[in-house]
Chains A and B, each alone.
Chain A
């Protein structure tokens, strides 16, 4: 039973990281039907920026963890908006496939740049949470796991509040449902897409900074996380933000349980298992567990 609860908390912590990146993917997909392949790499790159803020003195002093965290989120937002304006916007009239290719190009460029600037060696990234554990009824619960889960879910909730209760959030949702109609209502849809990229980058930055302490910082650190996030998003239904969060959390718990109880599944097999799960879900429910079948009018 202790083993079960430990696997559960670790799974929820991992899952919350997948969930935030899955939500970032769904955010951009809902607005533009484009999958942003560079999502993981944007997260990785902003985490390197956080690392630079933390370790190298800027203007004479380094930042401590939490100021660094929030400064990084602001930088990530500007970074996301900037990428959309500079790289993606010129392709606004092009096909979805072309835009997807452009995000693949971004993925390659960001990964290359990170290796170029900071070298591909693994780097240690600090965690704001202590490495000690709480012991509740014989169950060891890592404070780091609880902290990761808390921070990530807090960001998701803040984003949800924004979309639900602000006028800008309403405009963004309107733009996602029907772009042409939103435009006719006076919503500047082009800028909303940039905002969407900004928020997605912020979510990415959170997932990057939360996964870096356990994974170490490297230019390829988010490759696998992106796949897990994608698998989570598919599990939950690609069109559903709540589904993405639930799918990400569920996948984290499932993988953690599998590696605890099924000994055939070594860490190398985590990714193949996630891939297999993805394919099975698609066979059984092509629209995901929470998704609805979309009917298109021609």
Chain B
């Protein structure tokens, strides 16, 4: 087990970075880094499904949306404390994930992805259909962010602390989930469904559970997201977000927990800082209006394609290669021997 020390060192470095970052950052940057923590939670969840179990989902942005709406409705309409809503957001979303996963995981890999593509679209439709409950197109406004639990910090630092405490806790949780017997069963589904079944692993059950767990993570992330932005409406969780989460997982390194930190940094900063900067650079060479709508989508897509061609194991794979000198291919991206197919 050569990877364990590297992983442990990485986690220690992450904790140090999390403590030091707010000391060196402006309020605005701290607020941005709070979102990195939130996206990290969502990516960890999606990674359990995609990286470890080998099932693509294009719907996890909508699971964040469900969590965000649970938090919002509990706080606004029922007067809950927003911290107390987070577990509920996770459990409700996890249950929704299980309910969807139960039939949907009967799909072979790629078809599951196409079914999940419908989730964000259906979610937005449902939000608009029941406006008395969800606020409809207008959405709902949460009370402004205030520090609690006896801490007297500015709101940016407060949400940063909350996000990262939850994120680090859930990072440890994800590690516990994927390390033992259960994690091995998940990976066996990814590597060969036939072999997994032959060894007594119920692939449908493992996929469904992975779906529920990943939805739980995204629900918690969504609850935090609602707390941070203090406003939700159907446009807060578009299909682009689901796609961006998937790009984050692949770029960070599907099947690597530590890689999700890079993925989360990418998801937060490509949207606001790096993407536009990259495009501006491009617009100086060619005289194209790179601030036009759609340009950011093109950037996400090109980044995803480049990662698939150049580094299928993502940033985590590159880091591991630097550290161990070995070239590794992400297990999920390895070509499987295609078994001969008979129709009987």
| Chain A contacts to B: CB under 8 angstroms | 29, 33-35, 37, 87, 90-91, 93-98, 100-102, 104-109, 111-117, 119-120, 178, 219, 223-224, 226-227, 230-231, 234, 238, 266, 268-272, 274-275, 278-280, 282-283, 286, 292, 294-298
Contact = CB atoms under 8 A, between A and B. Distances in A.
A112 B56 contact: no
Nearest to B128: A268
Given A112-B296, A234-B111, 18 more contacts: A94-B308, A95-B332, A95-B334, A100-B113, A101-B250, A106-B301, A107-B243, A109-B297, A226-B114, A226-B117, A238-B111, A269-B126, A278-B115, A280-B103, A283-B106, A294-B341, A297-B340, A297-B342
B291 to A, nearest CB: 10
Given A37-B117, A100-B113, A234-B111, A298 B194 contact: yes
Contact of A115 (B56, B102, B293): B293
6 tightest A-B CB contacts, nearest first? A115-B294, A112-B297, A109-B301, A108-B301, A112-B298, A116-B294
A104 B246 contact: yes
Interface in B89-137: 100, 102-104, 106-111, 113-115, 117-119, 121-122, 125-126, 128-129
A72 B112 CA distance: 32
24 contacts: A29-B110, A34-B110, A37-B114, A95-B333, A95-B336, A97-B109, A97-B110, A100-B56, A100-B109, A101-B56, A101-B304, A104-B56, A105-B308, A108-B243, A108-B298, A109-B297, A120-B294, A178-B341, A238-B111, A271-B125, A272-B122, A279-B100, A283-B103, A296-B342
A105 B333 contact: no
Nearest to B344: A295
Interface of B: 54, 56, 58, 100, 102-104, 106-111, 113-115, 117-119, 121-122, 125-126, 128-129, 194, 239, 243, 246, 250, 292-302, 304-305, 308-309, 312, 332-336, 339-344
Contacts of A219: 294
Contact of A227 (B118, B299, B300, B333): B118
Contacts of A224: 121
B56 to A, nearest CB: 6
A286 B122 CA distance: 22
A223 B113 contact: no
B302 A109 contact: yes
A35 B14 CA distance: 38
Contacts, number: 174
Contact of A95 (B104, B108, B304, B335): B335
B298 A33 contact: no
A268 B294 CA distance: 25
A287 to B, nearest CB: 10
A29 B111 CA distance: 10
B129 A286 contact: no
Nearest to A295: B344
B111 A272 contact: no
A283 to B, nearest CB: 5
Contacts of B309: 90-91
Nearest to A265: B129
B134 to A, nearest CB: 12
Contacts of B104: 279, 282
Contact of B54 (A97, A120, A269): A97
Contacts of A227: 114, 117-118, 121
Nearest to B305: A105
A227 B56 CA distance: 16
Nearest to A272: B122
Nearest to A266: B129
A53 B106 CA distance: 44
Nearest to B297: A112
Given A115-B297, A266-B129, A97 B121 contact: no
Contact of B114 (A230, A282, A283, A294): A230
A270 B121 CA distance: 10
Contact of A298 (B103, B107, B333, B339): B339
Nearest to B239: A223
Contact of A35 (B114, B300, B301): B114
Given A90-B309, A104-B246, A115-B294, A97 B56 contact: yes
B243 A104 contact: yes
Contacts of A279: 100, 103-104, 115
B66 to A, nearest CB: 14
Contact of A295 (B103, B129, B332, B343): B343
A109 B333 CA distance: 21
Contact of A119 (B292, B300, B302): B292
A282 B107 contact: yes
B118 A120 contact: no
A210 B129 CA distance: 28
B295 A112 contact: yes
A238 B109 CA distance: 13
Contact of B301 (A97, A105, A230, A286): A105
B199 to A, nearest CB: 13
A200 to B, nearest CB: 15
B294 to A, nearest CB: 3
Nearest to A179: B338
Nearest to B125: A268
A107 B242 CA distance: 13
